[in-house]
């Protein structure tokens, strides 16, 4: 028998490599002096210094704008520059302490970033599944609920001086290429799902419990803006990569999650990325920052750089000749805050050198101060405010830990289940072989941008709590340079059933490290095949990974009766896996990304940003919306222990779009119409359908509504309009309703980036059902044909 995997949670005293900032190190430990009570960081401590009450910016009866203006006019230029950087300076004469902007909360409060620490008052926080698995739940309510729990724990830690108030999460980049090491952090490849996740998680983090829309519980940040999804692939590095992106792909695929963050989530911050887009660094592009985020989308908050990216555009990309030019260009483009120290070092010289007016600095720090005002940072002691009673007892509560387990259960995807192999019976199965390099891991389960969890339940522990187990690692680690098959085969040959827990970890896929192939690492597939060949009972293959794997060999192997994908399932991942495998939970997760064969990455460079296929070159396109080639598993795939039927779908057959009599499209053939407000007013209809659970098991079911638009403007072959998750007891049914906004949901993006309503036949898909809907030009008013069953 092999010893348990050497994958243990990190000690809080260890020094961690910061995953966001190149070459920056910080200690995650905080040593408290014996008897010292940790205190939160805040400005305007009027109780401790009554003279501060004379400052307008400390007067809570003033509005945010007036308070910010009062503060800014009291600062010298040198002091102002200190508020352009993440390690913001202190101004003792005004009662303003140092503040660290950089904290992370991707899937729980994290120790990545110097703004948050774990120590004796709060040794850990709830570690939810990595985002890619939570997205697989397709449960928008869950997205927001997790965000609310994370922000509560963050506020509790803030009150004891262990966390800030500004959290640079979520990551809403599109998972465009399966090799991307950071795909695990994202909600997947679909713009609608990513947008729904982004807005939901942001609302959960930010929404104030007193209902005041101007206040923030914590400040979220959507990153990395934009078209960022290459880290380090075959010598191509994110710091110097120029993403060549068509305007159509930018507005159709890469921008929607960020737009939804701002417009639907009212996010307090957007982070610009390292890469260039079409030759311009994103953090120095006025069209992307001031023009779009703040201009078109009306961001109420601040724009922050990825760590050291302003220095990178000067030092690595050589976009400017001097550091002062780099500082000026970034601020003039709309950047407000620099993660790092570059703006602190060079902005004053840029102003004095005439490259930048001081008013531009005022504008930037005003956005930063306004965010802190909305957080209550300038309102005095937070322990006397709305969240003042939160403390260590509100972190890692039983209900929070149970939510982490439930989130993992809802996300786990059943990809194969031959002849009802699963669920296993806890009474019929007397012995279970548990095999694989991920079978007894801890830290692997929480992915990256992690924090110290409340506790771990490994896959082995979860399964051993139900039945007697025999554990064999089979590989020294996930790299599996040499599969050790003998003991594994003996265990499988004698056990009533076998569970193989394989896949990846951060040594295979991570920030600054993209994959070069999609196969199971090393000799993992050899171990799986040899064990399956001799197994006495059902064989369950569990893939723990962020990105998809080419497991065609297992999909086609009759001896491997079931396949589960569990992402990186969080602190309670092992318990959730056991719940699914033994039927305490009926799986309902669906893949949020395409699983491609190895042949795809052999043929397609990761650096080709084009979403749409090119028949002339054989380029196959990307994601389910455009990809035309074979898949191992497709976006939305996922099985249940039950069966669900869709029926009696109602939707109109005709939608007439009203146009003025003089419109050119009355006299000329038009393939699309501009999605303008005058065209789109009240252009909405409902789709109703019945869903029935016709199987023996109660469970949840995700209903997808897809549309295949007319073939205009190189439109997607199909795209997701909406999704709803419903729970149904065995033999019960429910009605599901989708509201379809014609200009939003049935429009496509044209070659110039404009949104157009495609005229002609749109085919709506619900499961195996299809319905043709014609969008035509009308004279005046909205005309809908009567709804029809299909």
Residue ranges of E strands in 11-101? 15-17, 25-27, 87-88, 99-100
- Give the count of beta carbons closer than 10 Å to the beta carbon of residue 321: 9
DSSP designation for 54:
G
Burial of 527 (0-12, 13-18, 19+ CB in 10 A): buried
Beta strands 769-778 and 654-658, pairing class: parallel
Q: In 3-state terms, the chain is what percent helix, strand and coil (to 5)? A: 30, 20, 50
For residue 137, how many C-alpha atoms fall within 13 Å in the half-sphere facing its CB?
A: 26
Residues 6 or more apart in contact with residue 646 via CB below 8 angstroms: 689, 690, 691, 703, 766, 767, 768, 769
Structure tokens given for 57: 């910016």
**Minimal CA–CA distance to 647: which of 537, 769, 525?**
769
Residues 6 or more apart in contact with residue 92 via CB below 8 angstroms: none
**Minimal CA–CA distance to 85: which of 447, 361, 445?**
361
**SS3 of 280, please?**
strand
**Minimal CA–CA distance to 133: which of 474, 496, 573, 440?**
573
Beta strands 413-417 and 562-565, pairing class: antiparallel
Q: 70 - beta bridge partners?
A: none
DSSP designation for 120:
T
Whether residue 306 lies in the annotated active site: yes
The three-state (H, E, C) secondary structure of 405-432, written as one string: HHHHHHHCEEEEEHHHCCCCCCCCCCEE
* Number of residues in the chain: 790
Q: CA 519, CA 595: separation in Å to the nearest integer?
A: 11
**Checking phi first, is residue 175 left (phi over 0); if not, alpha (psi -120 to 50) or beta?**
beta
Q: Which of 249, 251, 285, 306 is catalytic?
A: 306
Structure tokens given for 148: 């609310």
**Minimal CA–CA distance to 269: which of 248, 246, 293?**
293
Structure tokens given for 395: 């972190």
Contact 566, 577 (CB under 8 A): yes
Contact 156, 395 (CB under 8 A): yes
For residue 159, how many C-alpha atoms fall within 13 Å in the half-sphere facing its CB?
A: 21
Contact 199, 193 (CB under 8 A): no
**Maximum Cα–Cα distance across the chain:** 84
**SS3 of 562, please?**
strand
What torsion do the CA atoms of 639, 640, 641, 647 make, to the nearest 10 degrees? -110
Residue with tokens 């990216």: 309
Contact 592, 191 (CB under 8 A): no
Contact 267, 202 (CB under 8 A): yes
Helices (H), 434-523: 459-464, 485-494
Q: CA 266, CA 260: separation in Å to the nearest integer?
A: 8
Q: CA 239, CA 241: separation in Å to the nearest integer?
A: 6
**Minimal CA–CA distance to 129: which of 551, 576, 435?**
576
Residue with tokens 């496509």: 748
**Minimal CA–CA distance to 555: which of 528, 588, 585, 594?**
528
Q: Point out the residues that are catalytic.
A: 306
């Amino acid at each position: 028998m092999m010893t348990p995997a050497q994958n243990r949670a990190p000690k809080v005293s260890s020094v961690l490599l910061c995953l966001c900032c190149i070459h920056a190190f910080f200690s995650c430990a905080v040593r408290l002096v014996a008897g010292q009570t940790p205190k939160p960081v805040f400005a305007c401590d009027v109780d401790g210094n009554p003279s501060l009450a004379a400052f307008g910016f400390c007067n809570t009866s003033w509005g945010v704008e007036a308070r910010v203006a009062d503060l800014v006019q009291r600062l010298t230029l040198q002091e102002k520059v200190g508020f352009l950087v993440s390690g913001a300076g202190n101004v003792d004469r005004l009662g303003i302490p140092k503040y660290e902007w950089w904290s992370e909360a991707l899937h729980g409060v994290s120790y990545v970033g110097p703004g948050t620490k774990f120590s004796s008052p709060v040794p850990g926080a709830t570690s939810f599944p990595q985002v890619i698995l939570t997205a697989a739940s397709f449960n928008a309510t869950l997205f927001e609920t997790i965000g609310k729990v994370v922000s509560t724990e963050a506020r509790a830690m803030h009150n004891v001086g262990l966390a800030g108030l500004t959290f640079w999460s979520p990551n809403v980049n599109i998972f465009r290429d399966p090799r991307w090491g950071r795909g695990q952090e994202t909600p997947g490849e679909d713009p609608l799902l990513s947008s729904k996740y982004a807005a939901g998680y942001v609302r959960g983090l930010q929404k104030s419990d007193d209902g005041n829309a101007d206040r923030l519980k914590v400040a979220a940040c959507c990153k990395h803006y934009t078209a960022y999804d290459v880290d380090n692939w075959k010598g191509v590095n994110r710091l110097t990569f120029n993403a060549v992106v068509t305007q159509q792909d930018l507005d159709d695929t890469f921008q929607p999650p960020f737009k939804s963050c701002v417009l639907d989530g009212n996010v307090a911050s957007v982070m610009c990325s390292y890469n260039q887009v079409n030759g311009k660094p994103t953090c120095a592009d006025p069209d992307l920052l001031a023009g779009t985020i703040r201009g078109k989308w009306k961001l109420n908050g601040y724009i922050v750089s990825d760590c050291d990216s302003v220095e990178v555009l000067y030092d690595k990309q050589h976009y400017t000749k001097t550091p002062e030019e780099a500082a000026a260009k970034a601020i003039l483009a709309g950047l407000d805050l620099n993660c790092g120290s570059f703006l602190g070092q060079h902005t004053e010289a840029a102003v004095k050198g005439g490259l930048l007016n001081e008013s531009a600095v005022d504008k930037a720090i005003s956005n930063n101060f306004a965010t802190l005002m909305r957080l209550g940072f300038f309102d005095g002691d937070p322990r006397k405010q709305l969240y003042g009673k939160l403390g260590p007892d509100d972190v890692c509560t039983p209900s929070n830990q149970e939510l982490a387990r439930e989130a993992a259960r809802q996300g786990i995807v059943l990809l194969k289940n031959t002849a009802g192999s699963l669920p296993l019976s806890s009474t019929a199965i007397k012995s279970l072989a548990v095999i694989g390099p991920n079978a007894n891991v801890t830290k692997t389960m929480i992915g990256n941008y992690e924090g110290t969890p409340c506790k771990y339940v490994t896959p082995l522990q979860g399964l051993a709590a139900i039945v007697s187990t025999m554990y064999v690692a089979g590989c020294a680690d996930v790299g599996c340079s040499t599969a050790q098959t003998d003991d594994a085969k003996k265990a499988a040959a004698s056990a009533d059933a076998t569970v193989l827990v394989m896949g990846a970890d951060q040594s295979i896929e991570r920030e600054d490290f993209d994959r070069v192939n999609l196969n199971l690492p090393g000799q993992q597939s050899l171990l799986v095949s040899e064990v399956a060949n001799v197994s006495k009972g059902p064989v369950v293959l569990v893939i723990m990974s962020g990105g998809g794997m080419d497991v065609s060999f297992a999909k086609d192997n009759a001896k491997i009766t079931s396949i589960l994908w569990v992402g990186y399932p969080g602190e309670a991942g092992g318990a959730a896996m056991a719940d699914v495998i033994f039927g305490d939970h009926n799986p309902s997760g669906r893949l949020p990304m395409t699983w491609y064969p190895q042949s795809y990455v052999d043929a397609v460079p990761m650096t080709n940003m084009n979403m749409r296929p090119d028949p002339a070159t054989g380029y196959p396109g990307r994601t389910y919306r455009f990809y035309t080639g074979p898949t191992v598993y497709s976006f939305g795939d996922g099985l249940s222990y039950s069966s669900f039927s869709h029926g009696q779908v109602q939707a109109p057959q005709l939608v007439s779009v009203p146009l003025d009599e003089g419109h050119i499209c009355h006299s000329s053939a038009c393939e699309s119409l501009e999605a303008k407000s005058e065209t789109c007013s009240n252009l909405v209809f409902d789709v109703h359908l019945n869903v029935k659970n016709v199987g023996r098991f109660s469970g949840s079911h995700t209903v997808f509504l897809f549309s295949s638009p007319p073939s205009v403007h190189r439109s997607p072959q199909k795209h997701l309009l909406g999704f709803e998750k419903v729970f149904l007891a065995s033999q019960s049914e429910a009605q599901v309703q989708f509201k379809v906004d014609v200009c939003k949901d049935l429009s496509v993006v044209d070659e110039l980036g404009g949104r157009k309503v495609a005229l002609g036949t749109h085919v709506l898909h619900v499961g195996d059902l299809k319905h043709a809907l014609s969008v035509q030009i009308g004279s005046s008013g909205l005309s809908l044909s009567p709804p029809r069953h299909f």
